[in-house]
Structure 1
Amino acid sequence: MIRNRIKCSVCAAWMMGVVSVQASVDGASRSPNVIVCLVDDMGVAHINVQYETYTIEDLNQGLVERDIESGSYTLDQSLEAAKKSMPFLHGLIEAGVRFTDAHVANSLCAPSRAGLLTGRYPQKMGIYHNGDIEAKGLPADATVLPKLFQQAGYTTACIGKWHVAKHIPGNWDGSIPDPAQQPTELGFDTYFGLNRSGTVYYNSTQLFRGTERAAAKGFITDQLTDESDQFIKGAGEKPFMLYLAYTAPHGPLDQLAPATYDAPFAHLPRRLRIWNSYMYAVDCGIKKLFETVKAEGELDNTLFIFLSDNGACGNTPLPANGLNRGYKGTHYTGGTRTAMMMWGPEWVKKKSKCSHLVSAMDVFPTALDIAGIERPEALDLDGKSLAGLIGGKSQVPVHNSLVWASKSPPHWSHVPNGLGGRDMNKKTPAVWTVRSGKWVLRTFAQDGHYELFDYQKDIGETKDLSRSNPETVQNLKKVYADWFRSVKPPLDWDRRAWSGLIPEEMRTVADNEKVRQYNEQAKEFEKQSAEWWQKLWEEKYDPNRKRK
């Protein structure tokens, strides 16, 4: 285990030894192992801080005003802490491939994970937001792609946050999933984790081993690492597929990390101290697993994939989502862009960067392709294999466009929401977004206006070009309409709100009336929310407020 501070150069040296390993006879004789490591609510800039330069003017001004201008911490403190918090992962990135334009299927936990695990747009399964999953779970006809590994003879494990199963009625905290939607019913031999959006980091009462409740032991990040470590050691002669979904850095972030992780950041203001020490714990966990894989003689035969389930929320310290606008839960790229990387000596071109538009839905199709596992012909996936791109054998884009459609609640913005958060989320109007080439087109059902941005020149989405590019707007509206024909109505979300996603040319008079009624209700609630937020800002967060 890493102790205290470790510099990236040391990790890079360790990784250089890793990538020089030659394929052994044993490694070549069996299928490759796969580790997919997912973190929760980590902004892309937490990784990109090593590759991009950020100034105060570049970053989210809400966070700058709340944190930097109020004196909570300095920009230099936040950037240096971020650079130090994941040294081992940065070593992996240097020895693998970094994706600079990767996005998740949805900006919220549950639908994002549904897209990752199935390789399909969650909207095609009627999943638009967390409530759809929590009310109904994954549809019975959905194929969780790790099941294909299991059928191919792999031993498979889901360790950590599941959050794609229906919540049992009457279970107040949502920790008990529908038995039919447990990981062990959907393709995993081993399951240790939780089905909630998050949990406390010490003494959690929401952990399960299979279908039985399990006791918490120490810091949950360490426990998830240890469970994964034991799974790898117990794989035996079988290839393994590990889906490790850490709960960090999802809240609550109110307690100090164990001393091992806290020490390098103990001199920092509390928010920076906790957030970065929690990420450092994840980094140490990844290193421990790599050491185990190496000791098992399988390092040269293992594919490692890392990403976050969505962007950072507003309580995250800078650099958060970096140059991107918005937060978790929003349709701006701060909510959907993910820091994704892949490593594997046999399949990934070393020290490479992929600038093509890619999706988290591509993760498991890529792993299946590298493992040589054929997909059933009837399995219609939206995710594509990135094997050619990561191996440097192809530069052909795998996606001409990506689409997002749901709602864009303000619950996760930079001002904490205390005004009926779940109510607010339910009463948020629909939003859809299309990304095609350099263009991003977005429309809000509440008033029907469109926004068009040149993402290559304006990553912060600040200059609306819709009026000067009407043909582009029409072309992207057609892309969306074609995509919408394949989606299903929501499993739980208010159908009136969902009607706002129906393309204009497909709407009936009744659809328009539903949208109008819903939007009138939403406007009133939005007004109440704005008034409450303004009052909270003035009383608690405004750096110019008069302190008592």
Structure 2
Amino acid sequence: MVFKSIYKQIILTLFLVVNSLVFAQQQKPNIVVIYVDDLGYGDIGVNGAVGVKTPHVDALAKNGLNFTDAHSSSATCTPSRYSLLTGSYAFRNNAAILEGDAPLIIDPNKETLPGMLQKAGYKTGVVGKWHLGLGRGKIDWNKKVPLGPEELGFDYSFLIPATGDRVPCVFLENQEVVGLNPEDPISVSYGTRIDGYPWGFQHPELLKMHTDPYHQGAIINGISRIGYMKGGEDALWVDEEIPFVLSNKATDFIQENEDHPFFLYFSLHDIHQPRVANIKFVESSTMGPRGDVIAQMDWCVGQITEQLKTANLLENTLIIFTSDNGPILDDGYLDYARELVGEHQPGGEFRGAKYSVYEAGTRMPTIVHWPNEVKPGTSDALLSQVDLYRSLAKLVNQKVEKGAAPDSENYLEAWLGKSEKGREFLLEEAYTFGLRMGKWKYIKPKEAEVPRWIAQKFVDPGFREEVQLFNLDEDPSETNNVYKAFPKIVKQMEKQLEKILK
């Protein structure tokens, strides 16, 4: 009898322990990062958008925390994504905009943000634009790609391998091309032309829109891309269907993991060029295709929030809505974005754009929504996406491996609106370097001509032979260079920048 009593007690204790562990697991917040492409600070309604409505994004802001001074780490896409997932500045690995067949630039032997969250008990998934390279060298697109999201800590992946303006124009699910006919194998080339799909510079009559000289390779779905491609006809995407395909995959991931804490990195293609809105969104703005795909992006956000509501998960899901770099009107495809922009200011009151070291290049629309923890409002905290790594590690009580996330710092209290204390110094990467310190903005001198390919995009990257220093409280548009009046501030910021770069 004594033995039975002890046995029952042991069983009861084990039951309570397991139940408490399951309960603790269920209490961990789900984490969803919605990463928009080329969306400017002023491109959403709550930040002053004109000519397009973003009701779903605005609802997140109304019920969450809208940041006025949160930044991507870089003014271009691959570097920002690299920093988000590694907690390291992109310049440390010479990360730059990649071609569509580039090898993976993140070291699979190093801990990543999704890998850290896996260790904390999360199911992890990435859906959408990748643009961080795949494989080790030349990729065989007809087999499972050997290095990609899986090796970096993602349990599930559904990818646009690079961007919509680069071949191959196919989706990869768990690193295999979706819908590929083995009898029609894929070949991809950058530089060397290969026979296959017609080329834009030879057949302009086949194009839905004209392009600059850099986007005149393979024509797929009436759009010429960077690079050349042959085969894989059954697997080709249709640009107008991309937002629906990606949103469905993202909501499926949520549905399949609703009984377990999950991390979803939902990386939209919109509003990157080529901007080809689905008929559902055509003429939903006054700005032509660029405005229409902003509305399309907003719909995708709504799909995520609706699925979270349906699964009764919205209250305990941390949603971080932001963008990879600043806005760009003309990025290679003629869609009349510059002509139709009207009174709308894509970067808000801030100077600059994608590719630029000025504020609009990295100051991102950023909203944090978590009804269980985050009170609605606005925050002026100075924050960088590179810090999400250690901030989320703190949230889930997970230790960061030694050597991982070298540039990431824990600002969880600021991200959740419990503190206004953000970074003392914040690095901005473009084709030179900017540094923020409170109201001050320093730009490192760069003696170089503006590359022709940037100049053609009507962007000022910020190259100047002299130091640039701006007081953003008085001059948010960075028009009055005051470096001569504040030599001590310049010296302090130069010293700090050199410390970071070394």
Match of 1:158 in 2: 126
Q: Deviations over 1:348-382 (max 9, x none)?
A: 122x1110110111234333332333323543442
1:352-431 correspondence to structure 2 within 5 Å: 352-395=377-420, 397-405=421-429, 407=431, 431=432
Q: Which runs of 5+ in 2 are unaligned?
A: 1-21, 179-234, 331-336, 449-464
In structure 2, relative to structure 1, the CA distance for the partners of 1:51 and 1:157 (3 Å cut) is: closer
Determine the C-alpha separation between the residues in 2 that align with 1:450 and 1:178.
Answer: 49
In structure 2, relative to structure 1, the CA distance for the partners of 1:51 and 1:210 (3 Å cut) is: closer
Q: Which runs of 5+ in 1 are unaligned?
A: 1-24, 53-78, 408-430, 486-548
1:79-478 correspondence to structure 2 within 5 Å: 79-82=49-52, 84=53, 86-128=54-96, 130=98, 134=102, 137-166=105-134, 179-199=145-165, 205-214=169-178, 215=235, 216=237, 219-253=241-275, 255-259=276-280, 261-262=281-282, 264-265=284-285, 268=286, 272-315=287-330, 316=337, 317=341, 318-350=344-376, 352-395=377-420, 397-405=421-429, 407=431, 431-446=432-447, 448-478=465-495
Provide TM-score, normalisation by structure 1.
0.67
Match of 1:57 in 2: none
Q: Deviations over 1:248-293 (max 9, x none)?
A: 000012x44222x23633xx4xxx1322221222222222222221
Shift of 1:461: 0.7
Q: Deviations over 1:141-200 (max 9, x none)?
A: 4432111112222111100011112577666xx989994541111111111012213348
In structure 2, relative to structure 1, the CA distance for the partners of 1:177 and 1:146 (3 Å cut) is: farther
Determine the C-alpha separation between the residues in 2 that align with 1:355 and 1:175.
Answer: 45
Shift of 1:30: 3.3
The root-mean-square deviation of aligned C-alpha atoms, in Å, is 2.9
Determine the C-alpha separation between the residues in 1 that align with 2:485 and 2:100.
Answer: 38
- More deviation, 324-333/219-228: 324-333
Shift of 1:127: 2.4
Determine the C-alpha separation between the residues in 1 that align with 2:105 and 2:416.
Answer: 36
- The percentage of aligned residue pairs carrying the same residue is 26
Q: Deviations over 1:447-477 (max 9, x none)?
A: 7421111111111111011111111111111
In structure 2, relative to structure 1, the CA distance for the partners of 1:162 and 1:472 (3 Å cut) is: same
Structure that is richer in helix per residue: 1
Q: How many equivalent residue pairs?
A: 396
For 1:50, which of 46, 71, 75 is the aligned residue? 46
Determine the C-alpha separation between the residues in 1 that align with 2:146 and 2:317.
Answer: 31
For 1:39, which of 36, 60, 67 is the aligned residue? 36
Q: Deviations over 1:312-363 (max 9, x none)?
A: 113253421122112101111121111111000122122x111011011123
Provide TM-score, normalisation by structure 2.
0.72
Match of 1:21 in 2: none
SS of residue matched to 1:117: helix
In structure 2, relative to structure 1, the CA distance for the partners of 1:478 and 1:292 (3 Å cut) is: same
The amino acid of 2:310's aligned partner reads A
The amino acid of 1:332's aligned partner reads Y
**1:439–1:454: 8 Å Cα contact kept in structure 2?**
yes
In structure 2, relative to structure 1, the CA distance for the partners of 1:147 and 1:177 (3 Å cut) is: farther
Determine the C-alpha separation between the residues in 1 that align with 2:251 and 2:299.
Answer: 12
Shift of 1:441: 1.2
The amino acid of 1:210's aligned partner reads N
In structure 2, relative to structure 1, the CA distance for the partners of 1:377 and 1:460 (3 Å cut) is: same
